């Protein structure tokens, strides 16, 4: 049983790391654009990266939330996962168009933070249920 719980926690950790990567990339690319104005394709690279990252974030986050909720039976964390993932998906599809670059960055930070919080809570509840 211990092996299964550590596997569940690893999904949460992986989802957290992916969220942090998204956050760092979201902040680092615009800042690097200030110092490297010759990178005219930066918006294309950023959009491609966000889309690619979502192909990893969505399934790992859903799996981590599902496995955690199945273990600790507290389904409140699904709300945070759903809201965070929805914000990130909407940003990738329509964020730049409707919010502009700054709005997209802020919205991505919010979505990443909500998802991050959900995974931290999921991980905490899994650890608590393991010790009960």
pLDDT in tens, 60-103: 899 888 888 888 888 888 999 999 999 999 988 888 788 887 88
Residue 84 has what pLDDT? 94
Mean pLDDT of 94-114: 87
pLDDT in tens, 119-132: 899 989 888 887 65
Count the neighbouring beta carbons within 10 Å of the beta carbon of residue 32: 11
Q: Helices 76-90 and 96-131: crossing angle, nearest 10°? A: 160
Residue 86 has what pLDDT? 95
């Amino acid at each position: 049983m211990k092996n299964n719980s550590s596997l569940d926690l690893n999904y949460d950790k992986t989802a957290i790391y992916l969220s942090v990567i998204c956050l760092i990339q979201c902040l680092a690319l615009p800042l690097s654009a200030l110092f490297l104005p010759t990178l005219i394709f930066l918006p294309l690279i950023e959009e491609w990266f966000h889309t690619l990252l979502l192909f990893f974030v969505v399934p790992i986050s859903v799996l981590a939330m599902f496995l955690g909720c199945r273990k600790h039976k507290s389904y409140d964390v699904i709300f945070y996962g759903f809201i965070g993932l929805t914000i990130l998906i909407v940003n990738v599809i329509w964020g730049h168009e409707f919010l502009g670059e700054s709005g997209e960055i802020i919205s991505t930070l919010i979505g990443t933070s909500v998802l991050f919080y959900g995974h931290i809570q999921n991980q905490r509840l899994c650890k608590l249920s393991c010790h009960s």
